[in-house]
Structure 1
Amino acid sequence: MESTSSDDEESLRDNNVDLNDDNLEHHLTLDVSNHLAESDNIFSSHQQFSENPEPFVGMEFESEEAAKLFYMAYASRIGFSVRISKSRRSRNDESIIMRRFVCSKEGYHMKKENFDDGKKKRRRPTIREGCNAMIEVIQKYYGRWVVTKLVTEHNHIVAAPSRVRYIAPEEYADMEPFLGMEFPSHEAAQTFYYAYASRIGFDVRIRLSRRSTRDESFVMRRFVCTKEGYAPLEENSDESKKKRNRTPTREGCKAMFEVMKKDYDRWIVSKLVMEHTHDLAIAPSKVHYIQSQTEVVVLAKSGTVNREKPVALANSGPQHVEAFGGFNNLPSIDQDPRIDARDPRQTAYGLEDTQRLLDYFKRKQDQNPTFFYAFQVDKTNCLTHAFWADGKAKMSYFCFGDAVTLDTSYKENKYMMPFVMFTGVNHHFQSVIFGCGLLTDESEASFIWLLENWLIAMCGRPPASLVTDHHDVISNAVSKVLPNTHHRLSKWYILNRLKEKFSNFYILHPTFEADLMKCIHESETVEIFEVRWKSLLDNYDLNESSWLHFLYNIREKWVPVYHKNIFTAEISVTQKPESLNKLFEKYFNTKTTLEVFSSILEHSLAGWYDRESLEDFASSYTSPVLKTPSSMLKQVSEIYTRTVFDIFQEEFVESLGYFVDKIEDGAICKYNVAKDEDVETSCTVMYDPLEKRTSCSCCKFESSGILCRHILRVFLTVDVRLVPEYYIIKRWTKDAKTAFVG
């Protein structure tokens, strides 16, 4: 028999609220400011807002949200969770003027009345231990929030979680809850439903839990909308006291999500109500913070566009925005031609912001002379452009700078800080940064300045290939600064814009996307692509589409078959490294000060460097599982990193299903390699028996540095049992970074 307890856990309100479960699992929902950093190091051992990471009486914050974020980060680093214990409002305008944050173990649970019904009662482990740890902040007359009370000692053991995970609601963008949905744990179910709620536009609390009679572990959790039920009416015993009317937060909403634990340790959605009795928010206001004994999950706001007007930082000089060509001037298939409207950004940051960023750069260079930065200011000494790269960025470029991407995604959102990144992929196929910049205008001269300073920082060595979004000013700047670099347009950017513009068409024609992907990704030759593209336009009656005609006219810049002999580090069309841009786009907006921005960025990037180090360690001290007892697989398993070996092994295993036909003999042998005698998938492999040199018409090795299944099949046919040294590219090996000298 299971027991049931009502865990009526509200999202943080202004009243005394407890957000804890009986097994030390803590759930905290805080309205966190946009300064929140999206990274595993968000709650690192280094304080983001002060050089002194410990709180102290008299400590000041710009806002209540900043104080919340500071104490939440401090609590997670030390090893306890937080709730709001007390608030005080102004009698003038009902605004909050005092907040008291306490340890979740503060106070004691109220004892319930004991009715003797003959049933044996079990003692519940209490999570309240009378802890006095707390911090209280009060808003002063000059607008700052000041710490007025502080207790740092705890009367219980504290232990920091072992890791922090960041979850964006967009990770579940295509997933709707349904009955029978399975999860590996109730925490995973909670994370999913919080992400769904954040994306849809409502907030969540835990309404009901049930525990096992055997070991007190959870066997059922019920999550509900925060507007579920009705707020109890308070009896006014003192008629002389005037009560203020509070806005009701409960509206009897029935929306809920219940999961139950099954025998095979999976959690199943057993009850589900999707409908709400109230209007949903355009964008939810909460950042969900879920802490257990082992980890912290930060679930950020949904990626919907911020409807609030941004606060201008500082302005000087006339506004200027360069007109962009290409996509923004093309019509959608279902609407009239139009130009996407974009509000101009400020042309410069304020003098105070500029000085603080410059001081930060100087400190970094004093700490490490390899740190590089470039600064440009206007006639009033306010920042217009900046570029910087640390020693790790330079090392990464030395080892992996053959294929570079210039990420300028900020242009798609006028509220985002004009932050640009030079990125690439390392030997674990993880994203790495080769430098960062700020551009307050989008002119050709600005991008020329950016590229020139980046090239100086990278010791004047241009990359083999550079990928950018499609904008005329960027293309012109690249052609002038990097004339010998192969410039490509981001295929992912183009396909996303196409899907956005053709959204209605995609819905009406479900097969269109699959046919388009086959045309773009599976065309082995230019001729096959041309035939498939024409067939695509004919079959879907799109010959009059100006969008598709434009994309066809620039096909040599973005369709893979046209640049397949250029190294791009694109191992597979199905594999795309995680976008570093997602790390910043939610929080680095025009409201963020440069001081906060630089601090958060530094700690965020530390998390990416840590990931690379962990993968280096794993590749060096673990051995992959071989799917076949092949001497070739054994050879490369000792050379390649784990990620690259997995890709090579997949090609090797797939090669076993291909047929080889020698079509020309001599000093250079010619083979036709195909699967199931399919002409469209056949490739031509040239092989030199003397030099053991080979090439394939698919050009996978030229573009990715990994041998294709066609060449591997020919190697097996001609009894080549080991990969020739020529075909092992150092940038994919475990020793990729050994030759770097700082």
Structure 2
Amino acid sequence: MVVRRLIRKKECCPGFTCDYVIGEDRRLKGLFWADEQSKTNYTVFGDIVGFDATYKSNKYDLVFVPFTGIDNHFRNVTFGGALLVVTDQDAAMKRAIKDVLSRSRHRLCMWHIWEKLKTKVGPVLLANIDFNTRMTHIVWNDTIIPEDFETEWHSIMSTFGLGNHEWLKDMYDLRFDWIPAYYHGENLAGLMRTTSRCESENYFFGQICNPRCTLVEFFTHFETAMNIQRHEHRRNDHDTRRDLNLYIGEYDAEMVVRRLIRKKECCPGFTCDYVIGEDRRLKGLFWADEQSKTNYTVFGDIVGFDATYKSNKYDLVFVPFTGIDNHFRNVTFGGALLGSETADS
């Protein structure tokens, strides 16, 4: 029923993507989905993607894996979701990431490995202050070089008689995937050194879902969660626009322009243009996204604009370009921020 529902949605919504795997026992083994908004979010914010395959959200013991990033308000944003049968450090998942995201670098969660270490070494060693101090120094340390890490790791294994510990040997073989010494200079946006992002995402979904859900109930809850998250994002965007003075200062103009140019590169339908004065202050800025331009094509017989509304402490005039849609409501075709001398001209 769930698969049929998603296939129907895919047929009705060209921007919706889903794929699935059914086992020989006709049970669902894997399911992935992402709607158009999620894919747009990935295009804009997908430099770093975190996912946590430890959260069971339904009575069939399928693991719910939300793919999470950080938006322009430093809040979680969801790029898609999956229901999977997986294990820690799942080899199939690692191969899939390498095949599909060939230019990415897959990293394991340090926090989960560290927590598992506590259960693997036993209570006596866990209570040993020297062992904990030395392990903490080489694991939670992004300033040491790989050679120093390896030397100290082998020293610790020898000192505490762990040379033949199978799990620790496996973790050492995987060191390139979770030890900070091996990826100096990589921006991980806090998604590697802590599970706070993924844990907060799981908590967010857990508030409206529970492990006893059927899959039909789960997807209803998931859509509700997405509506809440996107409403929050729109509200943050609104607050940001309202407090535009936070972004358009003597040096901040450059940051705003870079952000819009990045968006233009990622979203071919987005248009922007700008003027920077000799004093490096923003003098004029125009922007319109694809939907705004489509609105103009359909409803742009008459365009109104009002260049008298100052929306920020720099006295830049906000000029919305406005028309009337088929419901006789205002529709926006684009916007501009103009210096007073530019507005007068």
Give the TM-score, by structure 2 length: 0.60
CA distance 1:375–1:574, shift in 2 (3 Å): closer
* Deviation for aligned residue 1:575: 8.4
Q: Verify: 1:387 aligned to 2:7, yes or no.
A: no
Identity of aligned residues (%): 26
Q: Residues 322-401 of structure 1 correspond to what in structure 2 (within 5 A)?
A: 354=1, 357-359=3-5, 362-363=8-9, 366=12, 368-377=13-22, 383-401=28-46
| Aligned pair partner of 1:594 in 215, 218, 226 | 215
User: Deviations along 1:656-695, whole A, 9 cap, x unmatched?
Assistant: xxxxxxxxxxxxxxxxxxxxxxxxxxxxxxxxxxxxxxxx
* Deviation for aligned residue 1:593: 1.7
Structure 1 equivalent of residue 64 of structure 2: 419
CA distance 1:411–1:605, shift in 2 (3 Å): closer
Q: Which one-letter code corresponds to 1:491 in the other structure?
A: M
Q: Which runs of 5+ in 2 are unaligned?
A: 271-288, 292-345
* Deviation for aligned residue 1:637: 9.4
Q: Distance in 1 between matches of 2:157 and 2:261?
A: 40
SS of 1:488's equivalent in the other structure is coil
Q: Residues 689-700 of structure 1 correspond to what in structure 2 (within 5 A)?
A: none
Q: Distance in 1 between matches of 2:158 and 2:57?
A: 32
Greater C-alpha radius of gyration: 1
CA distance 1:380–1:397, shift in 2 (3 Å): same
Q: Residues 160-309 of structure 1 correspond to what in structure 2 (within 5 A)?
A: none
Structure 1 equivalent of residue 318 of structure 2: none
CA distance 1:576–1:431, shift in 2 (3 Å): same
* Deviation for aligned residue 1:741: 5.1
SS of 1:374's equivalent in the other structure is strand
Q: Distance in 2 between matches of 1:593 and 1:486?
A: 34
Q: Distance in 1 between matches of 2:156 and 2:58?
A: 32
Q: Which runs of 5+ in 1 are unaligned?
A: 1-353, 443-467, 626-632, 641-724
Structure 2 equivalent of residue 606 of structure 1: 227
SS of 1:487's equivalent in the other structure is coil
Q: Verify: 1:405 aligned to 2:50, yes or no.
A: yes
| Aligned pair partner of 1:434 in 55, 71, 79 | 79
User: Deviations along 1:504-533, whole A, 9 cap, x unmatched?
Assistant: 246522464454333123242223323443
Q: Which one-letter code corresponds to 2:90 in the other structure?
A: H
| Aligned pair partner of 1:551 in 164, 171, 177 | 171
CA distance 1:620–1:520, shift in 2 (3 Å): farther
Q: Which one-letter code corresponds to 1:554 in the other structure?
A: L
SS of 1:603's equivalent in the other structure is helix
Q: Distance in 1 between matches of 2:153 and 2:261?
A: 35
Q: Distance in 1 between matches of 2:260 and 2:153?
A: 37
Q: Verify: 1:563 aligned to 2:179, yes or no.
A: no
Structure 2 equivalent of residue 530 of structure 1: 150
RMSD over aligned CA atoms reads 4.3
SS of 1:421's equivalent in the other structure is strand
* Deviation for aligned residue 1:396: 0.8
Q: Distance in 2 between matches of 1:538 and 1:488?
A: 27
Structure 2 equivalent of residue 691 of structure 1: none
Q: Distance in 2 between matches of 1:544 and 1:501?
A: 13
Q: Distance in 2 between matches of 1:575 and 1:369?
A: 34
* Deviation for aligned residue 1:437: 2.3
* Deviation for aligned residue 1:490: 2.3
Number of residue pairs aligned between Structure 1 and Structure 2? 266
Choose between structure 1 and 2: higher helix proportion.
Answer: 2
Are 1:410 and 1:416, in contact at CA under 8 Å, matched by a contact in 2?
no
Are 1:469 and 1:489, in contact at CA under 8 Å, matched by a contact in 2?
no
| Aligned pair partner of 2:237 in 609, 613, 616 | 616
CA distance 1:549–1:402, shift in 2 (3 Å): same
Q: Which one-letter code corresponds to 2:49 in the other structure?
A: V
Q: Which one-letter code corresponds to 1:426 in the other structure?
A: D
Q: Distance in 2 between matches of 1:387 and 1:635?
A: 43
Q: Distance in 2 between matches of 1:365 and 1:387?
A: 16
SS of 2:197's equivalent in the other structure is coil
Give the TM-score, by structure 1 length: 0.31
SS of 2:72's equivalent in the other structure is coil
SS of 2:106's equivalent in the other structure is strand
